[in-house]
Structure 1
Amino acid sequence: MFLTRFRVNTARPASRQLLSSPQALHAAVMSSFPQLLPSTPDAPRVLWRIDRNAAAEVMLYVVGPDRPDLTHLVEQAGWPAAAAAGTPGWQTFQYAPFLERLEEKSVWNFRLTANPVHSIRNREGVPTKRTAHLTPKHQLGWLLQRQDASGFRVVTKPADRRHTEHGDEHQIIISDQRSLDFGKRSTDQGRRPNRVTLTTVTYNGRLEVTDPIALRRILTRGLGKAKAYGCGLMTLAPVE
């Protein structure tokens, strides 16, 4: 497994076009793996995420089974002249050694962009409909419902810093809620694109590892829905 980081040159028009289309960005990411074969149910999948840290600092993170070649992204949305002069256009790291070092009860900062949804039925006799959680309380609840099976526990604040009446007893911030609406290309040339609508949020918080094996699976296979559109990739960073 490999973890790759690519900084997007937001001054380029092509970059803005890519960032506005999750489907186009997904296609660009998948094109980075020339050896990738059709996935089997147990095979690692490709995950990606956009981090908008500042107006001029937009980072693309990719986790995949092979070392990617992002030359086309450098040419389209990076700094090609700098790359030609010898400055790498992206950084790729071996991910397996880090994953193997994860231990039970270790504590990490984490970031996750996800599509928190639930299924509801408006009335009896009709199929359930997938609906987005729109409030921070329910978005947090979505994550907490999945933490045990995912091998981690979101760390709670010290007792003297909790304000349970406001629902902020956990060390987590939920931000950057985005509503996406775009056309999904069809393989049938005669059909109009289907519309895809989804809501994404970013979780920044602190977790404790409860099951390293389960957490490694989440870090390499993703959490939640809409993984093809930049959701599900969780990354960890040391606690300072």
Structure 2
Amino acid sequence: MFLSKLMINVRSREFRRDYANVHEMHRSIMSAYPDTLDETPARLGHKILWRLDAAQIGYAQYVQSQTAPDWSNLPVGRLAAPAEVRPLGPVLNAIAAGRMFAFRLVANPTWSTHGGKERDVRKRHAHKTSESQIEWLVRRGERHGFVIPTTRSGEPDVAPSPVSTLIGQKKDTGRITVAPVRFDGHLVITDAAAFTDAVINGVGPAKAYGCGLISIAPPRF
């Protein structure tokens, strides 16, 4: 596994185009990876996740993948500094049941209903309150091998904050609208295998569009 850090030049015309259409952002990221040899979608085949974080100046884009990327395919001027790529092995090796980590996750907390007459069509609805967003994350933790500890006041040690809505257009499915939420806090691993799978494959929906990448670091006290 590899993690890339891309410092974005916000004056880049190509980046501004991608920022206005998250599907184009997805396509630009995919340009760093080869086509897959079978019918597996390239994002799944290379296990690609990405996140756009606000930096002091502009944005830092983090891209995680199973395949080593080739960022030379990006347009000249898109990056404000050379791409940094490092192996993710040390992070994965640090995962063990009982360990606590600080974490950041940009996710798409949603719930779904059946859509009208089409019983097999499901419509997603965004969780809009911080309470329901935290509840969504706690439920995901049960599936993905982690729990959110509590603070001294008894509250979950995580803070959700809104992120700019991601919009785009895709030819075959039409308009794309994703309402991400950024979670910052601490977690405790309960199942190392399940949590490793979550780190590699992501958490929640909209993984092609900047959601699902979970980053961990030593606890902050």
Name the TM-score, length of structure 2 as normaliser: 0.87
1:138-157, aligned counterparts within 5 Å? 138-157=132-151
Between Structure 1 and Structure 2, whose CA radius of gyration is higher?
Answer: 1
1:223 pairs with 2:209? no
Match for residue 233 of structure 1 among 184, 198, 213 = 213
> CA offset at residue 121 of structure 1?
5.1
Does the 8 Å CA contact 1:156/1:171 hold for their aligned counterparts?
Answer: yes
User: Counterpart of 1:181?
Assistant: 167
User: Counterpart of 1:22?
Assistant: 22
> CA offset at residue 145 of structure 1?
0.8
**Structure 1 residues 3 and 37: CA distance shift in structure 2, 3 A:** farther
Match for residue 129 of structure 1 among 112, 123, 126 = 123
Does the 8 Å CA contact 2:2/2:65 hold for their aligned counterparts?
Answer: yes
**Structure 1 residues 29 and 171: CA distance shift in structure 2, 3 A:** same
1:191-210, aligned counterparts within 5 Å? 194-210=174-190
Equivalent position SS for 1:205: strand
**Structure 1 residues 210 and 47: CA distance shift in structure 2, 3 A:** same
Point out the more displaced range, 99-108 or 174-183. Answer: 174-183
Partner letter of residue 236 of structure 1?
I
1:100 pairs with 2:93? yes
Separation (CA, whole Å) in 1 of partners of 2:126 and 2:203: 15
State the Cα deviation string for residues 31-89 of structure 1 (Å, max 9, x = none): 1112644538x9551111111134x141111111111111233624114xxxxxxxx61
Match for residue 50 of structure 1 among 39, 45, 52 = 52
Listed as ranges, the gaps of 5+ residues in structure 2 are none
Listed as ranges, the gaps of 5+ residues in structure 1 are 80-87, 163-168, 187-192
Does the 8 Å CA contact 2:9/2:77 hold for their aligned counterparts?
Answer: no
Name the TM-score, length of structure 1 as normaliser: 0.81
State the Cα deviation string for residues 99-148 of structure 1 (Å, max 9, x = none): 0221111111111111111013588x763522111111111111111102
1:109 pairs with 2:95? no
1:10 pairs with 2:10? yes
Q: Percent identity?
A: 30
Separation (CA, whole Å) in 2 of partners of 1:6 and 1:122: 39
Partner letter of residue 23 of structure 2?
Q
User: Counterpart of 2:67?
Assistant: 66
Separation (CA, whole Å) in 1 of partners of 2:76 and 2:99: 40
Partner letter of residue 148 of structure 1?
E
**Structure 1 residues 92 and 5: CA distance shift in structure 2, 3 A:** same
Equivalent position SS for 1:178: coil
**Structure 1 residues 44 and 210: CA distance shift in structure 2, 3 A:** farther
Equivalent position SS for 2:180: strand
